[in-house]
Amino acid sequence: MSRFERQINLSGFGPKAQQQLQKAKVLVIGAGGLGCPVLLYLDAAGVGTLAICDGDVVAASNLNRQVIFSESDITKSKAEVAGIYLKQKYSDINIEIINKFLTVENTLQIFNAYDLIIDGSDNFQTRYMVNDACVLLNKPLVFGAVYQNEGQVAVFNVSDDNAVSSNYRDVFPNPPSENEILNCNETGVLGVLPGIIGVMMASEAIKLITGFGKALINKMLYYNLLTNTTYETEIAPNAVAKSIIPKTPEDFYKTDYTLLCGNLPSIEWSEALLLKNNTPGKVILLDVRETHEQPKLDGIETMNIPLQSLSENIEPLNTAENILVFCQSGIRSRKAVAVLRSKFLQKNIYSVAGGISKLNSTINA
């Protein structure tokens, strides 16, 4: 008797669908609130190769919804703990552990090995990057996301009967601005919500792999936990979306998804000064104010290149590994970070939060 007997016996599913599951190679991005149920159910259903990609570690606040993890897993790698757990459940599944976060450098290479991608990540940066990579590589994508008591599910980059396919950017061409963005860590969520949405994602994956039923192709489903209501809308390809997505791997590598999603990396003065002191020669403190602006930083080596002329004068920055940019109040430095990130892909570039005004108020306080 096979452990899949009950689904092989299911009318319309049968042994052929089970074989298709066994042959499938599925990558699950994020072993979080969505990823846990996706992994548990695809593992149980008999998806032959199941990869878990997550660079994060387990925290106590994850445990209300990330049901693979226990108290004893806190501070351990999510991908590793989940991988070990899933491996010991069944002997017939090949589990692959990818203990890292996706970046523009590693995403295409990782995706190449799988025939279905499932996005259970928790930020727009990853979501837009994953979508664009799937479009570029022509990989089907099962998408799910939650906000407070609501969830979204969709299947992207799969052609319908009329050979029409759509993707995330056909629904939301550009990411929301920084101040709109909130995730579960900030807004709170009941564990059952990503549980429901994650199981829906697993079910869409099974349907896509086997052709069983009708997957949410060119559709997005909204689910509301409080009212038990759903709303389904059709998606059509749109020209704007098509024009924004990187067309080649080279374009993809050059796309700065952090910036696109408004998440500019910033650093506090205390950390900035510590980094400057502890790694001499590797850190440039860059002042992007006009040369006449006061006060200067006393007793600390800085470089002054005003924002206005920054893009034409970047040579002096070539040798630094880390560039910490500051200005008067932290606004121009953010613009400068955007400029510099497009010029130096390999360097760590941060805006010092609050600028000189913040430093002085900290000292005077």
Partner 1 sequence: MELKGIKILAFGMIAEKINASEFYLKEVSNTNELLSSLNSLYPQLKEMKFTISVNRRIVNNNEPLNADSEVALLPPFSGG
Assess 184 for contact with partner 1 (CB under 8 A). yes
The phi, psi pair for 78, rounded to 5°, reads -60, -45
Please state the closest distance from residue 133 (CB atom) to partner 1, in A: 17
Look up 53 and say whether it is catalytic. no
Please state the closest distance from residue 171 (CB atom) to partner 1, in A: 6
Q: What is the CA radius of gyration of the chain?
A: 24
For 152, counting Cβ atoms within 10 Å of its Cβ (0-12 exposed, 13-18 middle, 19+ buried), the class is middle
Considering only residues 137, 181, 199, 260, which one is a binding residue for partner 1 as defined by CB under 8 A?
181
Name beta bridge partners: 303: 286
Q: How many Cα atoms are found within 13 Å in the side-chain-facing hemisphere of 286?
A: 31
Would you say 8 or 259 has its CB closer to partner 1?
259
41 C-beta neighbours (distance < 10 Å), count: 17
Which residue from 86, 153, 151 is spatially nearest to 119, judged by alpha carbons? 153
Set 36, 53, 134, 184: catalytic member? 184
Q: Which stretch binds partner 1 (CB under 8 A): 94-102, 132-140, 173-181, 303-311?
A: 173-181
Please state the closest distance from residue 220 (CB atom) to partner 1, in A: 8
Look up 327 and say whether it is catalytic. yes
Mode of pairing for the β-strands spanning 116-119 and 25-29: parallel
Please state the closest distance from residue 193 (CB atom) to partner 1, in A: 9
Name beta bridge partners: 329: none
Cβ atoms of 28 and 40 within 8 Å: the answer is no
Q: Which stretch binds partner 1 (CB under 8 A): 14-22, 25-33, 280-288, 347-355?
A: 25-33
Active site residues: 184, 327
Residues lying near partner 1 in the complex (CB under 8 A): 30, 32-35, 119-124, 127, 144-148, 150-152, 170-172, 174-177, 179-184, 187, 189, 194, 220, 222, 224, 227, 231-236, 238, 240
